[in-house]
Structure 1
Amino acid sequence: MSLPSSWLQRYLHLLNADTGQILDLACGTGRNSFYLHGLGLPLLALDRDVASLAGMQAAGVATKAHDLEAGEGGYDWPFAEQSFAAIVVCNYLHRPLFPHLLASLKPGGLLIYETFAAGNENFGKPSNPAFLLRPGELLTQMQSNPSVTMSIIAYEEGYVEQPKPAIVQRICARKAGKISVLDKL
């Protein structure tokens, strides 16, 4: 099994099991889901790949099979009436989801997001610009929903060597409503 995201591990201290459920969005094979579940955090793992979810279900992880990119407008957000204490997204980008993702955070909810950025085409896949963040785009996306204010805790953009050489953008942000003394670099 792959190691969990180092970005997630770095900001794990900001997640609190008492504040509610965490959504691992587009969880893939579940490297972050297994990690969070192993820590006893309330979790929902979502992916469209039912086969990947089966292994997580067998381990007791709550899962939801859903294609986020289906539907009118090129997206299908299934959580309009639900909110999360935190949303974790690693190595996934579907721009139409950002406003909905931010709206689905509880006040004080945490977003931990990292994915590939422009320049990654020099290191392999993904190389399609549709799947690569433009310079500074992750910061801009934090303003994609005019009814939501996000406080940036940390942001990085650039080259990483682990888990493989890549160009990435990473953000840890909290939905306005409750800033914690733990929100420090």
Structure 2
Amino acid sequence: MRAPDLPTASTESEIAPSPWICRFANLIEPGGSVLDLACGSGRHSKLMLERGHGVVALDIDPAKLGELAAHPRLEAIGADLEDGAPWPLGGRQFSAVIVTNYLYRPVMPAIVAAVKPAGLLLYETFAEGNEKYGRPANPDYLLRPGELLQLAANAGMRVLAYEDLEETSPRPACRQRLAARKATGQ
């Protein structure tokens, strides 16, 4: 079945999906639901919709999704994950949880819990060392060495791939990336 037409880029400033997320997208259960956490303008939500997934796009400002919010397989949720309110998704679980360019440590256990058994966690964000390149520079928003690996280990997840590197393109940054699968019986 062909996915409904999606809005096309209206400006050159629209950011393409992360190559890391694209690399592991084919490992997501066909037709499985996806949580795009801190989704911003929805670059990964759009990618997942194009691949036939139902998507929950969660962000403090879901208006950034624009026309994409009207897609029949997208549920847009506006929530501030840092205001002390309860986790907005309750016990819902997803075939994949995608997090890019976002870190708020108090919700990390809820993020892992939102991955259903045999589901994927695809996480990519800035790491210590990034402060020399600009924002983010606050250590509260930078992963410590091996932090994503530890997150996966604590959750009993199988690490499929991990990177902790300094890159120069598309702009200089220090990042960590994780692709991990939750055990079937979790």
**TM-score > 0.5, shorter chain as reference:** yes
Q: In structure 1, what residue type is equivalent to 2:160?
A: I
Selected match of 2:160 from 153, 161, 174 = 153
Residue 55 of structure 2 is aligned to residue 40 of structure 1: no
Residue 106 of structure 2 is aligned to residue 93 of structure 1: no
Q: In structure 2, what residue type is equivalent to 1:100?
A: A
Counterpart-to-counterpart distance in 1, 2:171 and 2:68: 24
> Does the CA-based 8 Å contact 1:47-1:53 persist in structure 2?
no
Give 1:54 shift: 3.6
Deviates further, 58-67 or 100-109: 58-67
> Does the CA-based 8 Å contact 2:93-2:115 persist in structure 1?
yes
Give 1:59 shift: 4.5
Residue 15 of structure 2 is aligned to residue 2 of structure 1: yes
> Does the C-alpha gap of structure 1 residues 163 and 37 become closer, same or farther in structure 2, counting only changes over 3 Å?
farther
Residues 89-138 of structure 1: per-residue CA shift (max 9 Å, x gap): 00000111111111121110100000000000111110111100011111
User: What are the ranges of 5 or more consecutive residues in structure 2 without an aligned counterpart?
Assistant: 1-13
Counterpart-to-counterpart distance in 1, 2:115 and 2:47: 21
Counterpart-to-counterpart distance in 2, 1:157 and 1:138: 9
Counterpart-to-counterpart distance in 2, 1:95 and 1:151: 21
User: What are the ranges of 5 or more consecutive residues in structure 1 without an aligned counterpart?
Assistant: 179-185
Q: How many residues of Structure 1 are paired with residues of Structure 2 in the alignment?
A: 171
> Does the CA-based 8 Å contact 2:103-2:125 persist in structure 1?
yes
User: Which residue of 1 is the match for residue 121 of structure 2?
Assistant: 111
Secondary structure of 2:36's partner?
strand
Q: Which runs of structure 2 are paired with 1:6-155 in the superposition (5 Å)?
A: 6-18=19-31, 20-60=32-72, 61-71=74-84, 76-144=86-154, 148-155=155-162
Deviates further, 97-106 or 115-124: 97-106
Residues 54-96 of structure 1: per-residue CA shift (max 9 Å, x gap): 4321344321111111126xxx312232111110000000111
Counterpart-to-counterpart distance in 1, 2:29 and 2:184: 16
Secondary structure of 1:11's partner?
helix
Secondary structure of 1:140's partner?
helix
Q: In structure 1, what residue type is equivalent to 2:127?
A: A
Counterpart-to-counterpart distance in 1, 2:78 and 2:94: 17
Give 1:46 shift: 0.6
Counterpart-to-counterpart distance in 2, 1:84 and 1:35: 16
Secondary structure of 2:58's partner?
strand
Counterpart-to-counterpart distance in 1, 2:30 and 2:141: 32
TM-score by length of 1: 0.86
